[in-house]
Structure 1
Amino acid sequence: MNSQSSNMGVRSCCKRIMQNTTVPGAFSYLSPPDLVDKVAACKGAQNQVDSEEYKRLLHGFLQKVNALLNHGFGYVLIHLNDPFLLSFFDEKINQLLDHLIADNSYFHDNFHSKYYDKEHVLFWVRQRRRDRENISTLHLHTKVSWNGSLRDAKQGQVKQHIERASAQPQADTAEDMESDYKEQIIFIEGKVVETKDGVFQESIDIEAKGLSAEEQKHHLDWLFKMEKGGKLPGYITAFAKLDEGGSYYIGLEEEKQEITKTTGKGQVKTGKFICKGVRLSDTEKEALRTGIQNKARDEMMWLSREPLENPVSVIFHPVQNQRGGAVRNLYVIEVKVKHLEGLAFWTKEGPQAFKVPESATSDPQPEPMPMAIDEWIRGNGGSPKRLKVQKPTF
């Protein structure tokens, strides 16, 4: 098909969508009526980026693109009657689409956009040859570690770990066995945390969090709340990808220093951590340990080539007073994660995908796709015979 006939087909499809005519593999997408007013009122302010309206708009759009990728081709026509809104949306989706798994190729190889007029932009997923077993994924529900913070995993990172997990096991080398050594950390109440080699700091395999008095009443809820809490499941999936695993410390607060500015006083983070600790009775310690491990076992999905024994350990480090004695019932909690020959997902459902509904309507909505995990593993370069869903034992 030449470019002229292709453009005619696109414009014809545009007209049919705008006229609310059913088009197989097409979605007409209007922004919420009140969204434009809210964006216009706070133009230039940060809260427009984090608004719930924007999040719904972006997530709904990504569901539709994901469904069309699994369908093979299709169109999304978006009506955004504010140029500022349109330019921001265009920029934002380019970041998010990079996380879609699409036949092991970058999204821009299969995805195109074009302004139809001042108020409409047409996005289309072109048809391409692909393996039927390959499943495009909206969200992987697994994270990677990035210098003390989390990032959504990308296609290449996931494929790398599936391929490695499917390979034949190799004997441990002397270097591998020596890598289990961890430097001793010294926890003194109210003091900057130190190690034998210097100051303790966050890194790719270390994350530290404090707990407020209110959060301490609900340890498990806070730790496993992915949006605003401790995000422990995300760090578990991230550390499991590291060759030496990683540790998540609870009870350390980031140090802040007062600085004087011309406009007044302020604070700046130093990158160091103060030991505050978490107060726990023996009963509370055991309940927290089993609670974390039970949630890791029952609310996450683990893909591995070997049975999993104690992939997540919970260690309670006693906190010392400044004279070197132990402070009663005060601990720094370490959640230690081993390297996993495979992948961990922070939901028990694993990857999330959508498909085009079989019965077309004038306002179709993408349908969740039940993930056939064996097909998903195979489509991403692994072997289901060697890589399977496991239930950790503790």
Structure 2
Amino acid sequence: MASQRVDSTDKCTCWISYKSFETSCTEPNIITFHIKASNFTEQDRKKKRIVLREFDTRVSALRNTAGGILFIHITHRNINDRNLSNFDQFVDKSLKNLIADGCSFVESYSRKWLSCQEGILILTVAKESCVSSVSLNTKVCSDHEIEFPSTFELIRFVSKGQHGVSEAPENPEHRPFHQNAKNWVEDRHIQLKTFDEPTFRTYCKGNNKSWEVNFVDYVWNKLRFQEYLTCMSKVPRGGSYYVGISEWKNQVPPDVHGIPLRSTKTNITDRFKQKLSTVTVYDFDDTFKSGYEEENIIEIKFHDLKTGNSVLEMVVKCVKGIVFYDNGPLAYAIEDKDKIVKIDKVQWIRKIRSWRMQ
């Protein structure tokens, strides 16, 4: 099968080496990737995430399209340095996360220098038998933390739902609100979040949005409610997410301090409901819909304190399906021999289901 070049390298010094390699390569696909050696030791997390997302996108596309070669040009490096420890450390977690079919790392990848002096590294990527996702965009929780599920967890979850095992009430389940701080204990059903006014003001700095818009964005993104929504919706009886109550710290009980509201409760509630349009719900009847269309997925309550502040409670119901944030799972493939495209979420779930039945 002829190789496929996905992005142009004709203005780069690696172009001649690429063309020579392409002529003799027998792999089904070739994708180029340029990276600075300084990226491997980048301390800025945001910059590091941007580079890794580009890397993950290319590896995902290869794994979901018959496999192939990632032709990596490492620039701004010592031409005599053959050490790959920094590169390995930089990409190791990403490469492991992109394995969804249970194969070992050594079955999935191999890498070698094509030319150390030119900084050209060849990463051979095996085909994925399931679907290789850059991000599942849904999470699960224990009593301690939230994290991405394994593909096997999702497959089992889908299987249970399709066989009618997954049952859930139609409405969120209410929980008692305590003003006694010692009664608060976090677990899979309860999440406590501090509202820190200085941190919130820093988050809002530089924009002229209304208070409720900034506040909802802050809770949704900075305090990660969108992620907790996806994991609490998988828990029997759902969960409650509170803003305005601190966590336990060693032997110090939570502080029920609340939020000094600068907008009406109705405006805040409406803004949160609008945010649900950015959430995607997969139903076990094989349909996807907006979180805004999922009836009673959350209920928003305010608990007034004697100080004049209010504690925000987001009650999440257990959903008969899978809730995703950011418009569903993120995975890529190569299309028309020269373009990397996002795999549609319907195709993604079909790959998950068909792999389960193999």
Q: TM-score range by the shorter chain?
A: 0.7 to 0.9
Q: Check 1:49–1:157 CA distance in 2 against 1; reply closer, same or farther (3 A cut).
A: farther
Q: Which aligned pairs between 1:87-166 and structure 2 lie closer than 5 A? A: 87-100=85-98, 102=100, 104-106=101-103, 108=105, 110-116=107-113, 120-127=120-127, 130=129, 135-166=131-162
Matched to 1:149, the amino acid is E
- Is the partner of 1:335 in helix, strand or coil? strand
**Structure 1 position 204 matched with structure 2 position 188:** yes
Q: 2:315 aligns with which of 316, 330, 336?
A: 336
Q: How many residues matched?
A: 309
- Over 3 Å counting, the alpha-carbon distance change for 1:342 and 1:58 in structure 2 is same
Whole-Å Cα distance in 2 between the matches of residues 317 and 382 of structure 1?
A: 46
- 1:374 aligns with 346
1:356 to 334, 341, 349: 334
Mapped partners of 2:193, 2:82: distance in 1? 38
- The 2-side partners of 1:57 and 1:50 are apart by 11
Q: 2:65 aligns with which of 58, 71, 88?
A: 71
For structure 1, list consecutive stretches of 5 or more residues without a partner in the other structure: 1-15, 257-268, 320-325, 361-365, 384-394
SS of residue paired to 1:381: helix
Question: Which residue type is aligned with residue 253 of structure 2?
Answer: K
The 8 Å contact of residues 355 and 368 in structure 1, kept in 2 or not, is answered as: yes
- RMSD of aligned alpha carbons: 3.5
Checking the alignment, whether the CA contact within 8 Å between 1:97 and 1:107 is kept in structure 2 is: no
What residue identity is the alignment partner of 2:18?
A: N
- CA 1:18 to 1:114, structure 2 compared with 1: closer, same or farther past 3 Å? farther
Aligned pair in 2 of structure 1 residues 90, 270: CA closer, same or farther (>3 Å)? farther
Task: Output the CA distance in 2 between the equivalents of 1:295 and 1:77.
Answer: 40
Using the alignment, how far apart are the partners of 1:85 and 1:239 within structure 2?
Answer: 44
Q: Secondary structure at the match of 1:274?
A: coil
Contact 2:160–2:166 under 8 Å retained in 1: no
Residue equivalent to 1:28: 32
The AA in structure 1 aligned to 2:57 is: Q
Q: Partner of 1:6 in structure 2?
A: none
Q: Secondary structure at the match of 1:272?
A: coil
Alignment partner of 1:316 is 2:316? no
CA distance in 2, matches of 1:58, 1:107: 21
For residue 94 of structure 1, report the CA deviation from its aligned partner. 2.9
Alignment match, 1:231? 224
Q: Give deviations 1:242-267, integer Å, cap 9, x for gaps.
A: 223222110013466xxxxxxxxxxx
Out of 57, 64, 70, the position equivalent to 2:51 is 57
1:290 maps to what in 2? 270
1:79 positional shift: 4.0
Paired residue secondary structure (2:137): coil
Cα separation, 2, equivalents of 1:109 and 1:181:
48
Aligned CA distance change for structure 1 residues 127 and 368 (closer, same or farther; 3 Å): closer
Q: Residues 377-388 of structure 1: matches in 2 within 5 Å?
A: 377-381=349-353
Mapped partners of 2:16, 2:45: distance in 1: 27
Structure 2, unmatched stretches of 5+, are 1-13, 23-27, 202-210, 286-292
> Which secondary structure does the structure 1 equivalent of 2:135 belong to?
coil
Residue 9 of structure 2 aligns with which residue?
none
1:136 deviates by: 3.1
Partner of 1:10: none
Give yes or no for contact 2:167–2:320 (8 Å, CA) kept in 1: no
Q: CA separation of 1:158/1:284 partners in 2, compared to 1, >3 Å: closer, same or farther? A: same
Q: Give how far 1:61 is off.
A: 1.5
Question: Are 1:65 and 1:76, in contact at CA under 8 Å, matched by a contact in 2?
Answer: yes
TM-score normalised over the length of structure 2: 0.73
- Assess if the C-alpha contact under 8 Å between 1:148 and 1:205 holds in 2: no
Matches within 5 A, 1:250-269: 250-254=243-247
Distance 1:93 1:318, change over 3 A: same
Q: Percent identity?
A: 20
**Which has more radius of gyration?**
1
Q: Distance in 1 between matches of 2:243 and 2:215?
A: 10
Inter-CA distance 59–359: structure 2 relative to 1 (3 Å threshold): same
Match of 1:88, as an amino acid? N
State the TM-score, normalizing by the size of structure 1. Answer: 0.67
2:257 maps to which residue?
A: 276
Q: Aligned-pair distance for 1:308? A: 3.8
**Is contact 1:17-1:28 (8 Å) kept?**
no
Q: For the structure 1 residues 114 and 311, does the alpha-carbon distance in structure 2 shift closer, same or farther, using more than 3 Å as the test?
A: same
- Deviation track 1:221-252 (CA, whole Å, cap 9, x = no partner) reads 10122xxx111101100111222322211001
Find the aligned partners of 1:339 and 1:327 in 2 and give their Cα distance: 33
Deviation of 1:63 (Å): 0.9
Q: Which residue does 1:4 correspond to in 2?
A: none
